[in-house]
C-alpha cells in the first residue's frame, strides 16, 4: 500500500466484495466504530429474529416451542455453525453459558483427565478472566492443583512433567499477538500436556483451524467478532477423540443422556452435548445465530484476508501520518502474526482515546497505556481506517487531549 490517500482507501472499498455487508448492520450515524472486538455491532436482522422467537414462538407456542421450534437443540445447532468458523467438526462445538464458565468447566475437565499432573500453565498478562477462573478452578479442584503463570517467551519451555494443561489465548487481547496454534499444541502434546485455547479474539477475526492444529479444547466469545449482542453466549470445543472420557464438572440436566427421564442419577450424554448444564437462553441464542449466519455467508477466508488489509492500512497510516507523536506499535508487523485489532501505546493513551471518542472515533483503552483499535471486516471500511487516523492525527497535533475533560477515568472503557 503505497498510496495512503483517502481516495486510495475509497478505491479499496469500491473493489471490496465484502463491502455490501456493511449494509446488513445497524450502525450509529457519523461514528467510526473500532471496538467491535469488544462488542460487535447490531445486525439489522436481529430484531426481527428476536420478535419471531419472542412473539411467535415463546408467546404463542409457549412450552411446546422446545420441540416445535427445536429450542432443545439450539446449543448444538449453534455449535455446529460456530464449528464452520474455527475449523472444527459440527459435533465438536456447543454454544452455552459464558466464556468464564466454559473456561472453568474445561480446566476441571482437563485436570480430571490428567491424573498425576497437577499444574495449569498460563501466560502472565493473559486475558484476566482466564487467570482468575483458573485460580478458582485449581483452588477448588483439590489434589494439589496449581496455576503457574510465566512470561510469554517462557511458556513453551516451561511445559513440564507436571503440566496437565496449557491455557493460552490465541490472539492476545492487548497486543494482538497471535500464537502459532499448531506448533504450540504439538510442543505441549510432546510433553504430555493438553491445551485449552481461548479464541475470544480469534473467532470471526482470523482463520482458525482447530482440526489441523490437533487442538484439544477451546472456548470463545459470542459478543465480539461474532456480533451476538452484549453478553452473548460463549462456545466451547472438545476434540472428538476426547469426548468419551471428558467429563463436564457442572453436570446439569441438559448434559444428561436422557434429561426428560428425570432419574436421580446422572448419565452423561454421548458426545459434545454432555458439556451442557442448565437451560439455555433462547433469546440470547437467537440473537447470536443472526451474527453467526452473517459470518458464515461471508466466509472466514475473505473476512480474515480483509482483516489483514485493514490492520495493515491502519499501521501504515499511523506510522506515516502520526510519526513523531510518541506512539509505539504494540502489535506484530507481519499480518499473519496478528489478530484483527491493532494497539499503540502512548504515555497519555487514556486521554488521547477519550479525545478520539469525542471526535466520534471509538476505540478503547487498556491499562497502563494502550490504545486499541478493532477492525471488523464486515462493517469497517478502508475509508473508516483513513478517517480514524486523520482524526487521531488531529487530536495529537492540536493536543486537545490535554483538556481536563478528557482526564476523567470511567469505570468501563
Asked if 141 interacts with its own copies (CB under 8 A), we say yes
- Count the neighbouring beta carbons within 10 Å of the beta carbon of residue 374: 29
x/- letters, 278..297, toward its own copies (CB under 8 A): xxxxxxxx-x----------
- Name the minimum Å distance from CB 381 to its own copies: 17
Closest CB to its own copies among 101 and 322? 101
- Name the minimum Å distance from CB 86 to its own copies: 19
**Cβ pair 18, 298 in contact under 8 A:** yes
Residues that bind its own copies (rule: CB under 8 A) add up to a total of 96
Asked if 257 interacts with its own copies (CB under 8 A), we say no
Asked if 42 interacts with its own copies (CB under 8 A), we say yes
Stretch of 79-87, 124-132, 163-171, 388-396 contacting its own copies, by CB under 8 A: 124-132
Q: Is 127 a catalytic residue?
A: yes
Asked if 55 interacts with its own copies (CB under 8 A), we say yes
Closest CB to its own copies among 129 and 214? 129
Stretch of 139-147, 152-160, 186-194, 209-217 contacting its own copies, by CB under 8 A: 139-147
**Cβ pair 338, 178 in contact under 8 A:** yes
- Count the neighbouring beta carbons within 10 Å of the beta carbon of residue 412: 5
Stretch of 15-23, 59-67, 299-307, 330-338 contacting its own copies, by CB under 8 A: 59-67
Closest CB to its own copies among 12 and 288? 288
Asked if 217 interacts with its own copies (CB under 8 A), we say no
Q: Contacting its own copies (CB under 8 A), which of 30, 128, 334, 404?
A: 128
Asked if 108 interacts with its own copies (CB under 8 A), we say yes
- Name the minimum Å distance from CB 366 to its own copies: 6
Phi-psi sector, 163: left (phi>0), alpha (psi -120 to 50), beta: beta
* Catalytic residue from among 22, 105, 224, 274: 224
Phi-psi sector, 360: left (phi>0), alpha (psi -120 to 50), beta: left
Q: Contacting its own copies (CB under 8 A), which of 17, 153, 261, 408?
A: 261
Write a three-state SS string for the chain.
Answer: CCCCCHHHHHHHHHHCCCHHHHHHEECCCCCEECCCCCCCCEECCHHHHHHHHHHHHHHHHHHHHHHHCCHHHHHHHHHHHHHHHHCCCHHHEEECCCHHHHHHHHHHHHHHHCCCCCEEEEECCCCHHHHHHHHHHHHHHCCCCEEEEECHHHCHHHCCCCEEEEEEECECCCCCEECCHHHHHHHHHHCCCEEEEECCCCCCCCCCCCCCCCCCEEEECCCCCCCCCCCCCCEEEECHHHHCCCCCCCCCHHHECCHHHCCCCCCECCHHHHHCCCCCCHHHHHHHHHHHHHHHHHCHHHHHHHHHHHHHHHHHHHHHHCCCCCCEECCCCCHHHECCEEEEECCCHHHHHHHHHHCCEECEEECCCEEEEECCCCCCCHHHHHHHHHHHHHHHHHCHHHCHHHCCCCCCC
Q: Is 198 a catalytic residue?
A: yes
Stretch of 159-167, 183-191, 263-271, 302-310 contacting its own copies, by CB under 8 A: 263-271
Asked if 149 interacts with its own copies (CB under 8 A), we say yes
Asked if 48 interacts with its own copies (CB under 8 A), we say no
Asked if 158 interacts with its own copies (CB under 8 A), we say no
Asked if 64 interacts with its own copies (CB under 8 A), we say yes
Footprint of its own copies on 343-372 (CB under 8 A)? 362, 364, 366-367
- Name the minimum Å distance from CB 325 to its own copies: 25
- Name the minimum Å distance from CB 209 to its own copies: 26
* Catalytic residue from among 217, 223, 314, 406: 223
Closest CB to its own copies among 263 and 398? 263
Asked if 323 interacts with its own copies (CB under 8 A), we say no
Footprint of its own copies on 10-29 (CB under 8 A)? 26-28
- Name the minimum Å distance from CB 18 to its own copies: 20
Footprint of its own copies on 225-254 (CB under 8 A)? 229-234, 247-254
- What are phi and psi for residue 167, nearest 5 degrees? -115, 110
Stretch of 223-231, 238-246, 292-300, 307-315 contacting its own copies, by CB under 8 A: 223-231
**Cβ pair 133, 104 in contact under 8 A:** yes
Q: Which residues are catalytic?
A: 127, 198, 223-224, 372
Amino acid at each position: 500500500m503505497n498510496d495512503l490517500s483517502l481516495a486510495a482507501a475509497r478505491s479499496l472499498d469500491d473493489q471490496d466484495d465484502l463491502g455490501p455487508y456493511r449494509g446488513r448492520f445497524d450502525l450509529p450515524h457519523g461514528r467510526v466504530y473500532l471496538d467491535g472486538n469488544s462488542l460487535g455491532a447490531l445486525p439489522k436482522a436481529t430484531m426481527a429474529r428476536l420478535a419471531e422467537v419472542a412473539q411467535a414462538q415463546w408467546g404463542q407456542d409457549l412450552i411446546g416451542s422446545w420441540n416445535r421450534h427445536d429450542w432443545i437443540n439450539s446449543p448444538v445447532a449453534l455449535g455446529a455453525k460456530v464449528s464452520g468458523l474455527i475449523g472444527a467438526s459440527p459435533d465438536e462445538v456447543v454454544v452455552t453459558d459464558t466464556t468464564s464458565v466454559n473456561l472453568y468447566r474445561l480446566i476441571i475437565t482437563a485436570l480430571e483427565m490428567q491424573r498425576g499432573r497437577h499444574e495449569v500453565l498460563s501466560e502472565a498478562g493473559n486475558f484476566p478472566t482466564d487467570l482468575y477462573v483458573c485460580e478458582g478452578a485449581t483452588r477448588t479442584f483439590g489434589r494439589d492443583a496449581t496455576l503457574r503463570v510465566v512470561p510469554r517467551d517462557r511458556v513453551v519451555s516451561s511445559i513440564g512433567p507436571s503440566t496437565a494443561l496449557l491455557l493460552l489465548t490465541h490472539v492476545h487481547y492487548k497486543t494482538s499477538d497471535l500464537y502459532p496454534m499448531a506448533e504450540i499444541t504439538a510442543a505441549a502434546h510432546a510433553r504430555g500436556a493438553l491445551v485449552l485455547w481461548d479464541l475470544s479474539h480469534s473467532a470471526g477475526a482470523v482463520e482458525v483451524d482447530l482440526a489441523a492444529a490437533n487442538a484439544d479444547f477451546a472456548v470463545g466469545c459470542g459478543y465480539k467478532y461474532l456480533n451476538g449482542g452484549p453478553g452473548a453466549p460463549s462456545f466451547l470445543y472438545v476434540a472428538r477423540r476426547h469426548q468419551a472420557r471428558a467429563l463436564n464438572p457442572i453436570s446439569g440436566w441438559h448434559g444428561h443422556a436422557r434429561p426428560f427421564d428425570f432419574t436421580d442419577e446422572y448419565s452423561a450424554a454421548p458426545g459434545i452435548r454432555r458439556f451442557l448444564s442448565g437451560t439455555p437462553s433462547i433469546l440470547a441464542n437467537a440473537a447470536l445465530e443472526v451474527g453467526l449466519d452473517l459470518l458464515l455467508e461471508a466466509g472466514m477466508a475473505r473476512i480474515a484476508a480483509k482483516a489483514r488489509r485493514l490492520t495493515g492500512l491502519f499501521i501504515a497510516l499511523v506510522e506515516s501520518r502520526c510519526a513523531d507523536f510518541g506512539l509505539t506499535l504494540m502489535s506484530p508487523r507481519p499480518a499473519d502474526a496478528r489478530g484483527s485489532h491493532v494497539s499503540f501505546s502512548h504515555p497519555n493513551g487514556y486521554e488521547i482515546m477519550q479525545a478520539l471518542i469525542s471526535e466520534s472515533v471509538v476505540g478503547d483503552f487498556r491499562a497502563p497505556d494502550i490504545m486499541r483499535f478493532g477492525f471488523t471486516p464486515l462493517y469497517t471500511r478502508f475509508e473508516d481506517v483513513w478517517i480514524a487516523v486523520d482524526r487521531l492525527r488531529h487530536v495529537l497535533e492540536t493536543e486537545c487531549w490535554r483538556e481536563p475533560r478528557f482526564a476523567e477515568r470511567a469505570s468501563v472503557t
